Structure 1
Amino acid sequence: MQVLVIGAGIVGLAVARSLAGRGHDVVVAEAEAAIGSGVSSRNSEVIHAGMYYPAGSLRARHCVAGRRRLYAFCESHGVPHARCGKLIVATSEAETAKIAAIHLRGQENGVEHLRLIDAAEARRLEPNLACTAALLSPETGIVDSHALMLALQGDLEDRGGVVAFRTPVERLIRHDGAWLVRFAGDAEGEMAFDGVVNAASLAAQSLAARTEDYPPERVPRLVLAKGNYFGCAGKPAFRHLIYPAPVEGGLGTHLTLDLAGRMRFGPDVEWTDRIDYRVDPARSAVFYDSIRRYWPGLPDGALVPDYAGIRPKLSGPGEPVIDFVVDGPAEHGLPGLVQLFGIESPGLTASLSLAEDVADRLAA
C-alpha cells in the first residue's frame, strides 16, 4: 500500500516509521524545509510517566505504553536521554489532596514506582525545595527531541520511506478508490495514494476541512494555547524535574532540565488566536511568583526569556480537557484515511505507541 503521512513532526515521523516497518511504501509530506520545525521543536522535551490522564483515555494508554517504547528506542538508537525523575509538589493541604489524587490515577494507569513522600524526604532529595508533600515519579525523564526525530527519520529511510520537504498539501480528493493528493510547493501537482494520515498538528483541522467527503462536523475546534518558557541563569539548583500541583489549563509553571543540566521554567498558559513565538520579558513577573512557591531561593534577575510553543488544544479555558482524537475509517467511514487532532502533551512520549494505533486503524 502506498501511504502519505502529512507532517514531519515527532508523531508524523513515528507513524511513517511504523507504516514503513509493515512493508508499506511511505512518503512524508512536510510543508517546511526541515523535520520538526513546529510543535515538536517547541516543548519541554519531557518523557512523561502517565499519571495525569483519565484512566482508559488515549492519552493515558499511549503515554504509558509510549514511554516504555520510547526509553527502549532511545537506548537502542543512541538517542540522548535521562531518566532523571520528577517531583510533583504540594505547598498547601489542598494541593496535597491534589497530588494524592494524581497518585491514585497513576496507579490506575499502570505507572510504575510512584510514591507519595513527606516534606522531609522531598527536601532530602532536593534541599532547595519548599513543599508540604510530594509525589515522586522515578520514570519521568528528558530526551533530546531533535536527535529523536533524526533517529525516527533514519529508521523510516532505512525501511524505504522518504520525506518530501517544502511540500504542502492543498487538498485530498477521493478518486477511483484512492486518495488523489494535490500538492503545492516544490512538488506541485497531484499523486494518488492508497492511504493518508493527517499528522499536520496545528494545520490538521484546516487540512481536514479540505478533505473531500470528510464530514465537516467531525472537524473539532482548534484552540491555540501559547506556552512561554524562561531560562534560568546560574548553576542548576535541582536534579529532578519539579512540577507544582496542576492548575487550570495545564500543569503549572514547572522546572525542567535539559541534558546539560540547565534549568528552564514554563509554560504559562496564554490563550491566543494567532501563532506568535515571541516571549514577552514582562511575563517573568508571573513566573517569579509561581516558582517561588516551591523554590523560595530563586534569585532576582535570574530568569531570561527562552522560547515559546503553541499547543493544538481542542478545548479552551474553563472547559473539560478533550482527549486525543484519532479518527479512522471505522469512525468516519472513508477508507484509507486517519485524521489526528489535538495531539499535544504528552504527544512526544506517546508517539511510538500512537503510531502503532494509527497503523492498525489504517489497515482495518
Structure 2
Amino acid sequence: MTDTDVIIVGAGAVGLAVGRALASRGQQVIVLEKNDRFGEETSARNSEVIHAGMYYPTGSLKARLCVAGKHAMYQFCAERGISARALGKLIVAPRPEDLPALKVIHDRGHANDIPDLEIIGPERIAQMEPEIVAAAAIWSPSSGIVDSHSYMLALLGVIEDHGGALARNAPFLSAVPIKGGFEVRVGGNEPMTLTTRQLVLSAGLWSTQAGRAVDGLDPALVPETKFAKGNYFTYGGKAPFKHLIYPMPSVGGLGIHVTPDMAGHARFGPDVQPVETLDYRVDETRKSIFAASIRAYWPKLDESLMQPDYTGIRPKIGNALTQFEDFRILDHTVHGLEGLVCLFGIDSPGLTSSFAIGEEVAQRLGQSAL
C-alpha cells in the first residue's frame, strides 16, 4: 500500500489540470507546490489567451493538444461560470509580401482541424478593426481570452471535491522507485517522505531540476530548461480594438500582439528575451522595440501612453528560442519507469492545452477516457 495514488509536482495550470483528470477518475491525488499559492509563476504571468492552434506543425503534440484543449476549456469554463470569451483574433499581414506566409498559417490551421479560419482583405479588416492597416489577415473566431486564476481555482476545486489535496510550501526534493511506485521526499517547514503509485512531474521552469531528482531516470532524457522572458506594456489611452490583434509570428514566439483584457483595457506583449535568472522587472528599454512592431499594423499608436505592466518567464527546451520545439511528455515507454510521466518544455500554448494535457497524462498512466 502507498500513501496516495498520484503525486503531481507543480501546481500551475497544467499540474492542476492533470490532477483534475486523475481525481475525476477516482484517483487519490496530492499536488506538491513549492510556493505558497498555486499558479504563481508561468501560469500567472501570461496573456491569458485561448489559442486556436494554427501555428503548430500538423500532428505535433502542440497542435493536437491545443485544439482539444481549446474546446475543453470553453466547455469547462461555461459549466462553471468562469469568464472565457471567444473574442476572435486577426493575424495581420502588413505587406503584400507577407501573404504567402499568411496562407501557410491558414492552410496549416485547416489541416489541424480548425475549419473556421478564413483569409480576409483590407475592406473586411477595416470593417472589423478600422485602425488596423494590413494587406490581409487571418480571421480566427475561436481564439479568445480566459480568467486563468478562476480556471485554476476551479481545477483545484475538482481535485478537492474528489478527496485530493494541494500541499503548499512543499518543494519536491527527490523520488526513488520502490516496489509498486515511488518514495518521494518533500521539503519545506515540515519535511516528509510519501509513497505513491504514480508520479507526474509538471514543474514548469524547474522541470530540469525535477527530472534530475528522480533516481533511475536517464539524465539524457532530461532536457535543459532555458528561460525566455516576455515583457508586457499596458496602454494608458483608449485602445480601439475589439479583437485580439497578432502580427506575423516572430522567432521564438507569436509576435508582439494586442490583447484586450477582461476589463477591456489593451495590453501589448509578450516579446521574447532570453534571460539567465528569474528577474520579473519589465525591461523598459524595449519600449521602442514594442512601438516599432505595433506601428507596423497600428500606425496611430501613441508611444507616450505605453506603460510597463508585468513580465512572464516561459520554459524553453532544445532550440525553442529559434525554432519550433514540441511539448515533451515522457512515459514509461520512453524512460522505462512504470508510473512516471515527465512534462518538459510546456510553454505556449500550455495554458490553452492544459485540460487536454491532463487527459493525455491520465491515459498514459493507464486511465481510460471518461
- State the TM-score, normalizing by the size of structure 2: 0.96
Where structure 1 has 5 or more consecutive residues not aligned to the other structure, the ranges are none
Q: Deviations over 1:85-140 (max 9, x none)?
A: 00000011232211111000000000131010001110110001011100000000
Q: Is the 8 A contact 1:223 1:316 kept in 2?
A: no
**Residues 92-241 of structure 1: pairs in structure 2 closer than 5 A:** 92-241=95-244
Amino acid at match of 1:253: I
Deviation of residue 315 (structure 1)? 3.1
Whole-angstrom CA distance in 2 between matches of 1:163 and 1:263? 34
Within the candidate set 317, 321, 325, 1:322 is matched to 325
Residue 261 (structure 1) aligned with residue 282 (structure 2): no
User: Structure 1 residue aligned with 2:12, among 2, 9, 32?
Assistant: 9
The answer to whether the aligner puts 1:79 opposite 2:62 as a matched pair is no
The CA distance in 2 between the partners of 1:85 and 1:198, in whole Å, is 33
Structure 2 SS opposite 1:363: coil
Check the 8 A contact 2:251/2:322 in 1, yes or no. Answer: no
For 1:171, the aligned partner's letter is S
Match of 2:284 among 274, 277, 281: 281
Deviation at 1:269, TM superposition (A): 0.8
Determine what percentage of the aligned residue pairs are the same residue: 46
User: C-alpha distance in 1, partners of 2:235/2:290?
Assistant: 11
1:318–1:73: structure 2 CA closer, same or farther, 3 Å change rule?
closer
Question: Structure 2 CA distance, aligned partners of 1:318 and 1:179?
Answer: 34
1:229-275 CA-to-partner distances (Å, cap 9, x unmatched) read 00001113100100001111111111111111110001111011111
RMSD: 1.2
SS in 2 for 1:34: coil
1:19-65 deviation line (CA, Å, top 9, x unaligned): 01111110000000001000000000000001000000000000001
Answer yes or no: is 1:248 the counterpart of 2:267: no
Shift >6 Å, 4+ stretches: none
C-alpha distance in 1 between matches for 2:162 and 2:8: 15
- TM-score where L is the length of structure 1: 0.98
* Contact 1:227–1:268 (8 Å) recurs in 2: yes
Q: Which residue of 2 aligns with 1:88?
A: 91
Q: Return 5+ residue gaps in structure 2 as ranges.
A: none
Tell me the matched-pair count. 364
Between 1:317-326 and 1:230-239, the stretch displaced more is 317-326
- Counterpart-to-counterpart distance in 2, 1:172 and 1:203: 15
> Are the aligned partners of 2:251 and 2:323 in contact in 1 as well (CA < 8 Å)?
no
Aligned pairs for 1:54-73 (under 5 A) are: 54-73=57-76
Deviation at residue 322 of structure 1 after TM alignment:
1.2
Contact (CA 8 Å) 2:109, 2:117: kept in 1 or not? yes
Structure 1 Cα separation of the partners of residues 22 and 335 of structure 2: 21
Specify the SS of the correspondent of 1:277: coil
Residue 185 of structure 1: how far off its partner (Å): 0.3
State the distance in 2 between where 1:80 and 1:362 align: 31
Report the Cα offset of residue 159 of structure 1.
1.2
Aligned to 1:186, the other structure's residue is in SS state coil
Distance 2:37 2:243 in 1: 32
Give yes or no for contact 2:206–2:225 (8 Å, CA) kept in 1.
no
Contact kept, 8 Å, 1:204 with 1:341, in 2: the verdict is: yes
Q: Does 1:28 align with 2:35?
A: no
What is the letter of the counterpart of residue 205 of structure 1? T
Aligned counterpart in structure 1 of residue 22 of structure 2, from 10, 19, 22: 19
- State the one-letter code of the partner of 1:123: A
SS at match of 2:293: helix
Aligned counterpart, 1:49:
52
Q: Report the counterpart of residue 39 of structure 1 in structure 2.
A: 42
Distance 1:201 1:300, change over 3 A: closer
Looking at structure 1, the residues matched to 89 and 97 of structure 2 have their Cα atoms a distance apart, in angstroms, of 20
CA contact (8 A) 1:243 1:253 kept: yes
Partners of 1:108 and 1:268 lie apart in 2 by 28
* Closer/same/farther in 2, CA of residues 221 and 94 from structure 1, 3 Å limit: farther
